[in-house]
Amino acid sequence: MAQPNGYSSRKRRYRYQQQPAGTKPAEKRLPKIFFCGDPHGQFDQINWAATQFKPDAVVILGDLQPAAPIEEVLGPALAVTQVWWIPGNHDTDTEEIYDRLWKGPIAAHNLNGRVVNIAGVSIAGLGGVFRGQIWMPDGPVNYQSPAEFLQNASRVNTWRGGLPRRHRSSIFPSVYQALMRQRADILVTHEAAGCHKKGFEAIDRLARAMKVKRIFHGHQHEDVTFAPYKGLRVRAVGFRGVVDIEGNVIVEAQIDPRDLLVMQQAGMEPSPEVFDTIDRMPIVDIFSSHPVRRGEKGPFRDRRRDEPRKDGRPRQPRRSKDRK
Ligand SMILES: [Fe+2]
Ligand SMILES: [Fe+2]
């Protein structure tokens, strides 16, 4: 089966399939769980990875922005595996997006604010983002909990009789502190940990308190491994990328279209590698739930970050200059 980026799967068999069971009897065999960076309305990469490798589970790290019902956009993945998710800041942008996630077929698989045993691994979720109106670490707490916010709701807009929709993707201290009292193997967040220049040490403190070993996060649209970091492995999963539980690339992340725009506006010439991706990239307004693709070509890059370039030079991790 061909990858959505045109790559032949026969050239790169997934290593879990190559490793015979029992070859490392003393080592705990990690489950095949895939972690998926911000889809922003596009799910082909997740459906492809799920149907090709049949993972035990996939976890989507926020900013799903489904443009159609979940059973349509994630149908192939749902047919072969369990799909878990945390909300991102854009998942409360519209009523349609909110209802597809919070009321659709994966509503009960929202990991935000809880720890769930998934395929034998305990995974904690902290979705959403820090917002100053609620709490911006390490500043003062304006509202400890949704209940406290609503007590003052006479001066603010409520939505459907409860929190404003926007704050349903905001991090409240009460949710954060409840997680701190629990233990987990893995923490998934939308916000980045402190190792990222726009990350939060509050995420580091949460990971330490929960004694997690690994953090996977989205939001920054960068595909980077920070390890070791404070005794943790932190995996930033890039825009529409998919990685396994050890951080290995399953589907390579795409360039954030906004990064390309920033480079062009700054008069910078993107590297040849970036140009390679352009005619395969969708033109997407990622603040909209309706992606528009250029032509009929597939949206994915045709090469993997862990393969050498044609001239033999190693590929470098991609770091964005501007985070949004
Ligand atoms: Fe985000
Ligand atoms: Fe995002």
User: How high is the pLDDT of residue 314?
Assistant: 44
Model confidence pLDDT, tens digit, residues 230-249: 999 999 999 999 999 999 99
Q: From the CA of 34, how far away is ligand 1's center (Å)? A: 19
Q: Are residue 247 and residue 261 in the same domain, yes or no? A: no
Is 175 domain-assigned?
yes
Ligand nearest to the CA of 254: 2
pLDDT surpassing 90 at residue 91:
yes
pLDDT surpassing 60 at residue 292:
no
Mean pLDDT of 125-132: 98
Calpha distance 142→291 (Å, rounded): 36
Q: Are residue 64 and residue 193 in the same domain, yes or no? A: yes
Q: From the CA of 258, how far away is ligand 2's center (Å)? A: 11
Identify the band that residue 45 occupies on the pLDDT scale cut at 50, 70 and 90. Answer: very high
Mean pLDDT of 147-176: 91
Is 158 domain-assigned?
yes
Q: DSSP H helical segments within the chain, as ranges?
A: 15-18, 44-53, 70-73, 75-80, 95-102, 146-151, 173-180, 201-210, 257-265, 272-278
Given 224, 251, 278, the domain boundary residue is 251
Mean pLDDT across the chain, nearest whole number? Answer: 82
Ligand nearest to the CA of 192: 1
Total tally of structural domains belonging to the chain: 2
Identify the band that residue 273 occupies on the pLDDT scale cut at 50, 70 and 90. Answer: low
Task: Measure Cα distances from 130 to 9, 134, 191, 287 in Å.
Answer: 40, 7, 8, 18
User: How high is the pLDDT of residue 14?
Assistant: 47
User: How high is the pLDDT of residue 4?
Assistant: 55
User: How high is the pLDDT of residue 274?
Assistant: 58
Given 226, 251, 276, the domain boundary residue is 251
Q: From the CA of 108, how far away is ligand 2's center (Å)? A: 22
pLDDT surpassing 70 at residue 208:
yes
Q: From the CA of 190, how far away is ligand 2's center (Å)? A: 8
Q: From the CA of 209, how far away is ligand 1's center (Å)? A: 24
Identify the band that residue 42 occupies on the pLDDT scale cut at 50, 70 and 90. Answer: very high
- Pick the more confident residue, 200 or 305: 200
Ligand nearest to the CA of 90: 1
Q: Are residue 245 and residue 200 in the same domain, yes or no? A: yes
Q: From the CA of 240, how far away is ligand 1's center (Å)? A: 12
Ligand nearest to the CA of 286: 2
Identify the band that residue 67 occupies on the pLDDT scale cut at 50, 70 and 90. Answer: very high
Is 24 domain-assigned?
no
Ligand nearest to the CA of 189: 1
pLDDT surpassing 90 at residue 40:
yes
| Strand 224-229 relative to strand 232-236, pairing | antiparallel
Amino acid letter, 32: K
Among 22-36, 52-66, 209-223, 300-314, the range scoring the smallest mean pLDDT is: 300-314
Given 229, 251, 273, the domain boundary residue is 251
Q: From the CA of 25, how far away is ligand 2's center (Å)? A: 40
Per DSSP (E only), the strands in 110-161 are 115-118, 121-126
Ligand nearest to the CA of 256: 2
Ligand nearest to the CA of 128: 1
CATH classification at residue 106: 3.60.21.10
Q: From the CA of 219, how far away is ligand 1's center (Å)? A: 4
Is 285 domain-assigned?
yes
> What residues contact residue 222 under an 8 Å CB cut-off, 6+ apart?
196, 236, 238, 253, 318, 319, 320, 323
Identify the band that residue 270 occupies on the pLDDT scale cut at 50, 70 and 90. Answer: low
Query: What would you report as the CA-atom Rg of the chain, rounded to the nearest whole angstrom?
Result: 20
Ligand nearest to the CA of 169: 1
Q: Are residue 235 and residue 263 in the same domain, yes or no? A: no
> What residues contact residue 275 under an 8 Å CB cut-off, 6+ apart?
none
- Pick the more confident residue, 139 or 312: 139
C-alpha torsion 80→218→188→120, nearest 10: 30
CB 27 within 8 A of CB 3: no
Q: From the CA of 62, how far away is ligand 1's center (Å)? A: 7
Identify the band that residue 157 occupies on the pLDDT scale cut at 50, 70 and 90. Answer: confident
Give whichever of 141-155, 232-246, 302-316 has the largest mean pLDDT.
Answer: 232-246
Q: Are residue 137 and residue 219 in the same domain, yes or no? A: yes
Q: From the CA of 29, how far away is ligand 1's center (Å)? A: 32
User: How high is the pLDDT of residue 239?
Assistant: 97
Answer positive or negative: Cα dihedral of 23, 25, 27, 28: positive
Peptide bond before residue 140 is cis, with ω within 30 degrees of 0:
no
Is 19 domain-assigned?
no
The reported pTM is 0.79
Q: From the CA of 183, how far away is ligand 2's center (Å)? A: 27
User: How high is the pLDDT of residue 266?
Assistant: 80
